[in-house]
Structure 1
Amino acid sequence: MHLKDASYQRRKLAIILTFLTIPFSGFLTDIYLPSFPSMARSLSVTEQSVQYTLTAFFLSYGFAQLLVGSILDSVGRQKPVVFSLIVLVASSVGIALTQDVSVIIILRIVQGITTAFIVVAKRAFFVDLFEAEERKGYLSYFTIVWSAGPIVAPFLGGYLEELIGWKANFWFLAIYSSVLLIGELTVGGETILEKSRFHLKTITSLYVSMLGNSGFLLGILVLGLSYSVTMVFNIAGPFLVEEHFEFNAVVIGYCTLVLGVAWMLGGIISKQVKSLRFNAKSMIGSMAQVGLVILLVLIGYQYDYLVLLVSFGFLIHICSGYLFTNFFTYNLLFFPKNAGIAGGLMGGLLYVITSLSSFVIASSGDINSTFDMGIRYLMVSVILFLIVLVIIRRPFN
């Protein structure tokens, strides 16, 4: 059934279902972060092996977004979403039942691909069904609702880990995706009005053209590295908090909760600061971030406390959220006539960059102190600052 023809009550329920689905990607990536140390012990593997389960998800999620939008335009929205949710239920149960980290990595790759279908389809939900101001009103809540996932998920995951164990996180994901599946089958429906043929050659040509635009490409690098800054703690923080500072998974959850709020706060600040031009906003954000990271490295060399790390992390993540929001808008203005494809390319490469930076962080050696964390923040933030500097000094159209 097409939701355009559905009753007012069913459309209202479908909207609620969509808002429940939007944060799901954040739960898939962040709910098991507090369980990283426990997973490594339970599976008898290295820290890096567990960290690669997150990297694998980001990589497949990023690459899938490059084609998912066009596939959904050609086959519709609902059937791929239903199939993806079925796969997510099965794969979450599979992860909860296995003791093989290689199987977990493979299933996380599958989850990344299916999550891309769900996220892109639900992103198009409001564009398909609503016009002008009504559409704008719903979309204004999109980012806020999405932010709930990375904020709430590790907080919940910390308690699940402490009370039951790491497998509880994936049983929760199986239940969550089952609820969404039931909702999709009962109150969901098709939203696309007119399907279009899938033209791989045309899409490839557009992608090549877009990637030939230096300003657009550098903007994507800024987005990917801004998000990568937050991954420094997500990748290494759980092990540092539990093994070095000797706190439990609940504390890890609280730490990631605080840093998630910082990211969202940075985005809000960026939207509220309207008196400054783009270049000034970008330079202030990137310089503040590098300055804070250098200060963390210097102080962390002498003092090693969790409260010190999280306090500086809070300010550093505010800067990342601020820069991300600033450049997200900047990049969307490059190709207004192909905003959908540009958005898919931007979203896909963003997560590819994040997965690569996560791999580098996970493979960069042991992180055993506040100073070590500061060095990893410095690795990402300096590169980010240099790219912002290039963009500001060479204005792109």
Structure 2
Amino acid sequence: MIATKTLKQQHQGISTILAFALIPLSGFATDIYVPSLPTMAAALNVSDIQVQLTLGLFLISYGVSQLFVGSLLDSFGRYRINMISLAIFALASIIVANTANIYLIYLMRIIHGVTVGAIVVSKRAYFIDVFSGDKLKHYLSMFSIIWATAPIIAPFVGGYLQTYFGWQANFYFLAGFAIIIFFLELIFSGETLKQPMDFHLKKIALIYSDMIKTASFTLGIVMLGLSYCMVMIYNMTGPFIIEHQLHLSPVVIGYSSLILGAAVMVGGLISKATINKPFNKKLMINVGVQLLAVLTMLISTQFVSNLYSLIFFAFIIHAGSGYTFNSYFTFCLSRFPNNAGIASGLTGGINYVIVSFLSYGIIYLIPASDESNLAYSYLILIVLSVLIMLIIFRMTRKATN
């Protein structure tokens, strides 16, 4: 059993770095094997949609676990739950790398989702426990930027691991990463929860209810889901378009995902730079740019469709997604500082439940066949974003009148 210890002041700097290192774990757990999806389908003798389901099951379990883990973290602390989750995540990764049974992989991916949910929510809550004021706002605005390192680094690394060592190497990499962080956490981290909340189900349910009834908070999470779904749609379909339609290699898939991961980070950095600009105005301009880009993408596919056009338009759309995600993520996480674990869990949980069902539903209705279909998928999400933002703006206007 892992003993609970309090975070030492002299270790706070290293512990903060470790917390930032774990924020992108959800992205690493999906993006690192994105270049391997076509190869996995062939090696496991399953269909494209079956191997895409490994992403969907992770997202669903990751989202659902966050809905409940926040209350456990607020009642029993962050440290021990985080450590246990790291150990189980590493073990599940090793099992995936050593099986050819798709159903066992499904089970391990569900375990991945649950454990990553606990890890990431505990680390988001860490910042609210340790920091306050402008410093907290600064760190929260960095979350989506740090998170964007996963879609930049992970597919790039995964493409080379796939090419030289096979798809299993991706999961050995995840296991090794978790084990290294586990021992560093054991040495340098500790408990940061100062005042545990009594674990009374009725009281916890009331807190959940009050948060969900806060319309600006709930609709903000919907915007998070729509923005990240644009990224996930590409992750689930892009590799098949590039390999099957354009006849290019997993390394090219990795480089393409790296560029689009950079787009998300660029959007996050621009959002951070404009953090003090009028909220509604800047987001409406952002979604307007996305809408213009996807309409141009649809028209251009009638004349040209290649890797360069695909990445060019996707880059603009993904940068817009990063902008929206960073803006609403900072807003949602800072709404309820007294119940940071629950707020973090609800924000991440509802977001990923939306992403998992919506992304899988869209690729089921609009299969990953070409750039035109990808553009139609983007268009659905952008139009939904416009509608939700109009509702938010109308509510904001009524509240100020």
Query: Scaled by the length of structure 1, what TM-score is found?
Result: 0.92
Q: Partner amino acid for 2:105?
A: I
CA offset at residue 240 of structure 1? 0.7
Question: Is the Cα contact below 8 Å between 1:22 and 1:122 reproduced in 2?
Answer: yes
Question: Is the Cα contact below 8 Å between 1:89 and 1:173 reproduced in 2?
Answer: yes
CA offset at residue 307 of structure 1? 0.5
| 3-state SS of paired residue (1:116) | helix
**Quick one: structure 1 residues 182 and 135, their matched pair in 2 at CA, closer, same or farther if it must change by over 3 Å?**
same
In the alignment, the residues of structure 2 paired with residue 134 and residue 272 of structure 1 have an alpha-carbon distance, to the nearest angstrom, of 15
In the alignment, the residues of structure 2 paired with residue 134 and residue 380 of structure 1 have an alpha-carbon distance, to the nearest angstrom, of 33
Which deviations, in whole Å up to 9, do the C-alpha atoms of 1:11-41 show, x marking residues without a partner? Answer: 4443343333333222112101111101100
Map of 1:97 onto structure 2: 98
Which deviations, in whole Å up to 9, do the C-alpha atoms of 1:331-379 show, x marking residues without a partner? Answer: 4565566555333212210111010112113312432221121111112
In the alignment, the residues of structure 1 paired with residue 120 and residue 15 of structure 2 have an alpha-carbon distance, to the nearest angstrom, of 15
In the alignment, the residues of structure 2 paired with residue 128 and residue 149 of structure 1 have an alpha-carbon distance, to the nearest angstrom, of 25
In the alignment, the residues of structure 2 paired with residue 78 and residue 330 of structure 1 have an alpha-carbon distance, to the nearest angstrom, of 25
Map of 1:2 onto structure 2: 5
Are residues 1:116 and 2:117 paired?
yes
CA offset at residue 392 of structure 1? 2.1
Map of 1:291 onto structure 2: 292
Q: Partner amino acid for 2:90?
A: V
Are residues 1:388 and 2:389 paired?
yes
In the alignment, the residues of structure 1 paired with residue 129 and residue 394 of structure 2 have an alpha-carbon distance, to the nearest angstrom, of 39
Gap regions ≥5 residues in structure 1: none
| 3-state SS of paired residue (1:196) | coil
Which deviations, in whole Å up to 9, do the C-alpha atoms of 1:25-77 show, x marking residues without a partner? Answer: 22112101111101100111111111111111111111111121210122222
In the alignment, the residues of structure 1 paired with residue 334 and residue 181 of structure 2 have an alpha-carbon distance, to the nearest angstrom, of 34
Map of 1:302 onto structure 2: 303
Are residues 1:373 and 2:346 paired?
no
| 3-state SS of paired residue (1:301) | coil
Question: Is the Cα contact below 8 Å between 1:235 and 1:361 reproduced in 2?
Answer: no
Structure 1 window deviating more from structure 2 (377-386 vs 137-146): it is 137-146
Question: Is the Cα contact below 8 Å between 1:31 and 1:156 reproduced in 2?
Answer: yes
Map of 1:351 onto structure 2: 352
Question: Is the Cα contact below 8 Å between 1:2 and 1:191 reproduced in 2?
Answer: no
Question: Is the Cα contact below 8 Å between 1:286 and 1:388 reproduced in 2?
Answer: no
Map of 1:21 onto structure 2: 22
In the alignment, the residues of structure 1 paired with residue 274 and residue 5 of structure 2 have an alpha-carbon distance, to the nearest angstrom, of 41
**Quick one: structure 1 residues 18 and 255, their matched pair in 2 at CA, closer, same or farther if it must change by over 3 Å?**
same
Structure 1 window deviating more from structure 2 (51-60 vs 276-285): it is 276-285
Question: Is the Cα contact below 8 Å between 2:60 and 2:356 reproduced in 1?
Answer: yes
In the alignment, the residues of structure 2 paired with residue 133 and residue 267 of structure 1 have an alpha-carbon distance, to the nearest angstrom, of 18
In the alignment, the residues of structure 1 paired with residue 25 and residue 355 of structure 2 have an alpha-carbon distance, to the nearest angstrom, of 18
Structure 1 window deviating more from structure 2 (265-274 vs 306-315): it is 265-274
Matches within 5 A, 1:70-85: 70-85=71-86
CA offset at residue 101 of structure 1? 1.4
In the alignment, the residues of structure 1 paired with residue 139 and residue 381 of structure 2 have an alpha-carbon distance, to the nearest angstrom, of 34
Question: Is the Cα contact below 8 Å between 1:160 and 1:168 reproduced in 2?
Answer: yes
In the alignment, the residues of structure 1 paired with residue 336 and residue 133 of structure 2 have an alpha-carbon distance, to the nearest angstrom, of 20
**Quick one: structure 1 residues 279 and 190, their matched pair in 2 at CA, closer, same or farther if it must change by over 3 Å?**
closer
Question: Is the Cα contact below 8 Å between 2:221 and 2:350 reproduced in 1?
Answer: yes
Map of 1:281 onto structure 2: 282
CA offset at residue 272 of structure 1? 2.3
Map of 1:323 onto structure 2: 324
Q: Partner amino acid for 2:349?
A: G
CA offset at residue 139 of structure 1? 5.0
Matches within 5 A, 1:98-247: 98-130=99-131, 141-247=142-248
In the alignment, the residues of structure 2 paired with residue 266 and residue 123 of structure 1 have an alpha-carbon distance, to the nearest angstrom, of 21
In the alignment, the residues of structure 2 paired with residue 327 and residue 133 of structure 1 have an alpha-carbon distance, to the nearest angstrom, of 17
In the alignment, the residues of structure 1 paired with residue 234 and residue 160 of structure 2 have an alpha-carbon distance, to the nearest angstrom, of 19
Structure 1 window deviating more from structure 2 (37-46 vs 320-329): it is 320-329
Question: Is the Cα contact below 8 Å between 2:137 and 2:330 reproduced in 1?
Answer: no
Query: Scaled by the length of structure 2, what TM-score is found?
Result: 0.91
Question: Is the Cα contact below 8 Å between 1:86 and 1:181 reproduced in 2?
Answer: yes
Which deviations, in whole Å up to 9, do the C-alpha atoms of 1:111-149 show, x marking residues without a partner? Answer: 111111111122222333456566566556544333222
In the alignment, the residues of structure 2 paired with residue 270 and residue 241 of structure 1 have an alpha-carbon distance, to the nearest angstrom, of 30
**Quick one: structure 1 residues 169 and 16, their matched pair in 2 at CA, closer, same or farther if it must change by over 3 Å?**
same
CA RMSD across the alignment? 2.3
Structure 1 window deviating more from structure 2 (314-323 vs 189-198): it is 189-198
In the alignment, the residues of structure 2 paired with residue 176 and residue 336 of structure 1 have an alpha-carbon distance, to the nearest angstrom, of 30
**Quick one: structure 1 residues 275 and 175, their matched pair in 2 at CA, closer, same or farther if it must change by over 3 Å?**
closer
Question: Is the Cα contact below 8 Å between 2:63 and 2:348 reproduced in 1?
Answer: yes
**Quick one: structure 1 residues 303 and 132, their matched pair in 2 at CA, closer, same or farther if it must change by over 3 Å?**
closer
In the alignment, the residues of structure 2 paired with residue 181 and residue 300 of structure 1 have an alpha-carbon distance, to the nearest angstrom, of 47
In the alignment, the residues of structure 2 paired with residue 136 and residue 387 of structure 1 have an alpha-carbon distance, to the nearest angstrom, of 25
Map of 2:68 onto structure 1: 67
**Quick one: structure 1 residues 339 and 12, their matched pair in 2 at CA, closer, same or farther if it must change by over 3 Å?**
closer
Q: Sequence identity of aligned pairs in percent?
A: 42
